[in-house]
Amino acid sequence: MALFILYGVGARYFLGSSPIWFDELARYAIIAAAMIGVGAVWVDGAHMRVSVLETRVPEGLRKIIILYQWLLTLALAGSMTWFSYQYVGKVGFFQTPGLQVSRSVPVALMPIGFGLLFLMALINGPKALPQAAVENDL
């Protein structure tokens, strides 16, 4: 990704222009990395998460909050997988301006990413924040 961006900037600076598809390819590569990595980040507990309730309530209520967060993650990731999958089919006849490929190719990264998040959350089950994150929050 960095090489695509550096080439685009360098070509504009030294040559006066750069191919439009380089910027587009870099943008899609960044989106792909974010969508594919979202499940791994969730498993590590590194997602942004409001932990004030989770860290300052009794143990019984804490387990309920953790279960609720897990179920909410499953519901959102599952529904976004379905809706983004439906969207891929609706944009298939459009082409990207730079790469001239079907718009469904870059958009397909969304259901893949959300689907991976759903699977990672489902496999790992409800779990509390890592202890280091809880200590930093206090």
**Cα gap 57→35, rounded to integer Å:** 33
Amino acid 80: pLDDT: 95
Mean pLDDT of 28-44: 84
**Cα gap 55→90, rounded to integer Å:** 43
Q: Is the pTM of this model over 0.85?
A: no
Amino acid 81: pLDDT: 95
Residue pointed to by tokens 């989106």:
31
In b/e form, how buried is each residue of 78-113, taking b as 16+ CB within 10 angstroms?
bebbeebbebbeeeeeeebeebeebbbebbbbbbbb
Does the pLDDT of residue 132 top 50, yes or no?
Answer: no
Other Cβ atoms less than 10 A from the Cβ of 136: the count is 10
Taking only the tens place, the pLDDT of each residue in 46-96 is: 776 666 777 788 889 889 988 998 999 999 999 999 999 999 988 888 888
Mean pLDDT of 28-32: 86
Does the pLDDT of residue 135 top 80, yes or no?
Answer: no
Amino acid 131: pLDDT: 59
